[in-house]
């Protein structure tokens, strides 16, 4: 039963992501006529040239890349990505036209496109899936270079396609709006995917590390680590307590440590990603365990 609920939630988020992508492209970007990102941008060029529907153009462009990426990314990722690619492409041609089309400023169209599509791609990526096309290439790069963020890879790939579209349209303003939309898209993707995994880390220099650990445990039930250290000037023995927690919990930790040991020295740092017990583990484009792929 738990597995069924998990699957339903996964499919629902994938559908919501596909709807957001389709609406962002068709209802905001197409009428604004600025270059789009990814294979959708290439499909839009085909639409301008031979009037091939954008959704079907995206599907056709995906075929060779899908074949190339099958072995690299694995069967499960490939199948789920194929499902999302078909859904988003068909929604772009048949569902998005049912929604109102934005006819306002191109700047606002670029912002709305970036936010909507970024939210949609982020939801799909968080299900360890993609919409195919450029996503296959992005996830392939992510597998080969795991230290790069998905948003940064996306922006780099999208920038080249936007510049190509700008050459075709001969519209400098359109290129600027397209780059702006791509930047917003990549930022939203990173915030959505890694924001839930972000937190803060505190380093407390103290003479009573166990006391500070106890205070942290009582404040937010987080584990901590004691590191042995020594003063740089006098060489006195010190202890450094290290703890990672959420941003909300850090306020409680900070206040309780100040009360318990006013003489301690505290350093609070931003943590873009925290993995381990008590934190969400995000895996994008990674092969799944055998029991998870059934």
What pLDDT, in 10s, does the model give residues 194-242?
766 667 889 999 999 999 999 999 888 888 999 999 888 888 889 999 9
Interval 90-140: pLDDT, tens: 998 899 999 999 999 999 999 999 999 999 998 998 887 878 777 677 777
| Domain architecture of the chain: domains with CATH | 2-195 (no CATH), 199-271 (3.30.70.120)
Radius of gyration of the chain (CA): 24
Contact call for residues 193 and 122 (beta carbons, < 8 A): yes
Rounded to the nearest 10 degrees, what angle do helices 150-169 and 172-195 cross at?
Answer: 170
Complete DSSP assignment for 211-266: HHHHHHHHHH----EEEEEE-TTT--EEEEEEEEE-HHHHHHHHHHHHHH-TT-EE
Please give the pLDDT value at position 53.
Answer: 85
Please give the pLDDT value at position 42.
Answer: 81
Interval 243-254: pLDDT, tens: 988 777 888 899
């Amino acid at each position: 039963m738990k597995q069924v609920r998990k699957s339903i939630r996964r499919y629902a988020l994938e559908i919501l992501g596909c709807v957001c992508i389709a609406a962002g492209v068709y209802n905001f970007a197409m009428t604004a006529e600025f270059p789009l990102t990814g294979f959708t941008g290439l499909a839009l060029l085909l639409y301008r040239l031979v009037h091939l529907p954008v959704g079907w153009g995206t599907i056709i462009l995906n075929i060779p890349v899908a074949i190339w990426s099958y072995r690299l990314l694995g069967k499960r990722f490939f199948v789920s990505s194929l499902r999302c690619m078909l859904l988003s492409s068909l929604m772009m041609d048949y569902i998005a036209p049912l929604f109102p089309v934005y006819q306002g400023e191109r700047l606002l169209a670029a912002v709305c496109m970036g936010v909507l599509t970024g939210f949609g791609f982020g939801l799909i990526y968080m299900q360890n899936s993609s919409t195919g096309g450029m996503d296959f290439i992005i996830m392939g790069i992510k597998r080969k270079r795991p230290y790069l963020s998905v948003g940064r890879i996306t922006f780099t790939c999208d920038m080249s396609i936007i510049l190509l579209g700008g050459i075709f349209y001969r519209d400098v303003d359109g290129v600027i709006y397209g780059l702006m939309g791509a930047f917003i898209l990549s930022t939203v993707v990173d915030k959505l995917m890694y924001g839930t995994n972000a937190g803060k880390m505190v380093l407390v220099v103290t003479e009573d590390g166990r006391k500070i650990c106890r205070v942290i445990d009582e404040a937010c039930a987080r584990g901590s680590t004691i590191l042995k250290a020594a003063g740089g000037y006098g060489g006195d023995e010190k202890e450094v307590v290290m703890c990672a927690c959420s941003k909300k919990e850090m306020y409680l930790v900070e206040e309780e440590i100040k009360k318990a040991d006013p003489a301690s020295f505290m350093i609070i740092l931003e943590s873009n990603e925290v993995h381990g017990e008590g934190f969400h583990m995000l895996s994008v484009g990674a092969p799944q365990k055998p029991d998870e792929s059934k």
